[in-house]
Amino acid sequence: MNHVNGEIIGIRQLSKEYTTEKGEQLLAVDDITLTIPEKSFTCIVGPSGCGKSTILRIAAGLEAASSGTVHYRSNLVVKPCGEIGLVFQEYSLFPWLTVIDNVAAGPAFSGVSKSERIKDALVHLRMVNMLEFKDAYPHELSGGMRQRVAIARALANKPDVLLMDEPFGALDAHTRILLQRELLKVWQLTRKTIVLVTHSVDEAVYLADRIIVMSNRPGRIRTVLEVEMDRPRSRANLQFGQLTDSILKELEYGN
């Protein structure tokens, strides 16, 4: 069966209600239905607090939905699985391990031999331009470098889908643009399915095949935009500016 245009993650009528410390009910996400096609690059943008991280956590199996479902292929997602990888804003590298051992650590848990893991870690470190620092410890790296290692580590687990929550949020503008470019290369090389949450409309327009624009909380889908510009995209391009502008206007409306 050809999955190229098929759905890899299916989100159906997903809602999430939290009980706050005060005991009040808070509807974070309301009735989200979304198809993530295999090998696509989807960006989710929306106001702070609209439930973007909540959706990713549920899709990763880290949190339960209040109602609705998430499927990975034909499987209901109820707990974390190796096929769905995660990269968060706060890179969570093991401080006591070197860069290469951090990247090789994930597959260790799944029983891959040491030599195999190291070989594979080298491939992924090269992919994110971090080979030179393979023997450094996390505290010896800049934020951008740590995030590159976090991406390499997620890839070393060979996920089918990579969920990324503001992966470049803590970086300066220049490093951010550099890493966006590198992530695109990695995506084109590995053809993983990527779902990336970002505050930056510019980042979404640069990276995505499809942009999901969310409303204010409770988060609903306002618009789904297909981005058909060729890659690599130029921010100087008129179409780039127009699309960015129209999404920003859309976000201004809120609900």
Give the Cα-Cα-Cα angle 25, 44, 186 (nearest 5 degrees).
Answer: 135
The DSSP-derived string for 111-178 is T--HHHHHHHHHHHHHHTT-GGGTT--GGGS-HHHHHHHHHHHHHHT--SEEEEESTTTTS-HHHHHH
Residue closest to 11 by CA, chosen among 63, 76, 82: 76
- Minimum distance between the CB of residue 92 and ligand ATP, rounded to whole angstroms? 16
- Minimum distance between the CB of residue 123 and ligand ATP, rounded to whole angstroms? 32
Please pick, from the candidates 37, 49, 61, 68, the single residue that binds ligand ATP as defined by CB under 6 A: 49
Residue 225 backbone dihedrals phi, psi, to 5 degrees: -115, 130
52 binds ligand ATP (CB under 6 A): yes
- Minimum distance between the CB of residue 184 and ligand ATP, rounded to whole angstroms? 22
2 contact choice in ligand ATP, Mg ion, none (CB below 5 to 8 Å, kind-dependent): none
- Give yes or no for a contact between 225 and 247, defined as CB atoms under 8 angstroms apart: yes
For residues 49 and 117, what is the distance between their CA atoms, to the nearest angstrom? 38
Binding mask 149-188 for ligand ATP (x = CB under 6 A): ----------------------------------------
β-pairing, 210-214 with 41-45? parallel
28 contact choice in ligand ATP, Mg ion, none (CB below 5 to 8 Å, kind-dependent): ligand ATP
Please pick, from the candidates 6, 26, 188, 232, the single residue that binds ligand ATP as defined by CB under 6 A: 26
Question: Which tokens belong to 31?
Answer: 């009735």
Please pick, from the candidates 39, 192, 210, 217, the single residue that binds ligand ATP as defined by CB under 6 A: 217
229 contact choice in ligand ATP, Mg ion, none (CB below 5 to 8 Å, kind-dependent): none
Query: Which residues between 124 and 153 bind ligand ATP (CB under 6 A)?
Result: none
18 binds ligand ATP (CB under 6 A): yes
For residues 111 and 251, what is the distance between their CA atoms, to the nearest angstrom? 46
For residues 60 and 45, what is the distance between their CA atoms, to the nearest angstrom? 18
50 contact choice in ligand ATP, Mg ion, none (CB below 5 to 8 Å, kind-dependent): ligand ATP
Binding site for Mg ion (CB under 5 A): 53
For residues 99 and 126, what is the distance between their CA atoms, to the nearest angstrom? 12
216 or 246, CB closer to Mg ion?
Answer: 216
Residues of the shown chain interacting with ligand ATP in the complex, contacts defined by CB under 6 A:
18, 20, 26, 28, 46, 48-54, 199, 217
